[in-house]
A = this chain, B = another copy of it.
């Protein structure tokens, strides 16, 4: 089925060929690939210090290498995704795990999800507060519960039963995220219309930035995708964003592609961004470049939704479109060296 699909995609035109650098060098070569992101937003050379840029490039490199090492040793895509994301969860530069943004009430509520492209199995957690690695919790839900999506205190209980590592909520604290919360609260207190405030971009993009995610292709031809986040600074009322919503922030299907998203989550839910990109690949035989560009640059831009995605197909083709100033991203495949990107012109 997968092979037939790819043949159809190839005969559909030159557009996919244009991004098929990762085709196996010889028949029988199985491509392996990983792509990661660490958030999209107003990232420009003017507002990112050289020192911080170097730190971010190093973190993205380490995460990509951690995931690629799994694939290179014959490991599964899902293990590569988890390995890469956990490197970023542990790094306070990103809005996932340690370094997560603060809620309106001044704590951390984390969301994550993971999905397998061969079986369409999936797991997700939302609003967890004491699980050290939300992506590990999402995977435990997928593999060890009869449910797909667990939330709040219930998800915490499940994680404790499963023996996952627990931390105090203050483990996720960082001074720069606390300072962002104060600025966000000030902005919210000065408006009577929170929806307009945020929708119309009178809202520092950095407040939401730093969701992390990974997509991987293993030597067996299986795709996987995962996403982990602290959500949106000053989020309220048990808000769930797109990251734990299968089809919105995360999607994987061997018949089309794997996607992890980052951006203004409400839009990514309403436009079911991750699954819609893969539906366009599956039903319209678009390349991952075409499908991603349509959804990120046409659909989302028209709607006013900011963000980006990483996309990977079963041939190892990667696309990483974003409609913001920048997106932290990196990739490595069996045919391409590790590359790291931050700004638009990279």
Q: A148-B266, A247-B247 are in contact. Are A154 and B239 (CB under 8 A)?
A: yes
Q: Assess the B275–A237 pair: CB atoms within 8 A.
A: no
The complex is assembled from copies of this chain, and their number is 2
* CB under 8 Å from chain B, chain A span 182-238: 194-195, 197-199, 235-238
Q: Assess the B271–A272 pair: CB atoms within 8 A.
A: no
Interface residues of A (CB under 8 A from B): 115, 120-122, 126-127, 145-155, 157-158, 194-195, 197-199, 235-241, 245-248, 251, 265-266, 269-272, 275-276, 279-280, 283-284, 303
Q: Assess the A246–B272 pair: CB atoms within 8 A.
A: yes
Q: A147-B236, A248-B246, A283-B283 are in contact. Are A270 and B120 (CB under 8 A)?
A: yes
In the complex formed, the residue of B with least CB distance to A286 is: B283
Q: A122-B270, A270-B121, A272-B247 are in contact. Are A127 and B151 (CB under 8 A)?
A: yes
**What's the Cα separation between A150 and B194 when bound, in Å?**
16
Name the prevailing secondary structure of the A interface residues.
mixed
Q: Assess the A246–B245 pair: CB atoms within 8 A.
A: yes
**What's the Cα separation between A275 and B248 when bound, in Å?**
11
Specify which of A236, A246, A272 lies most central, judged by the most chain B CB atoms within 10 Å of its CB: A272
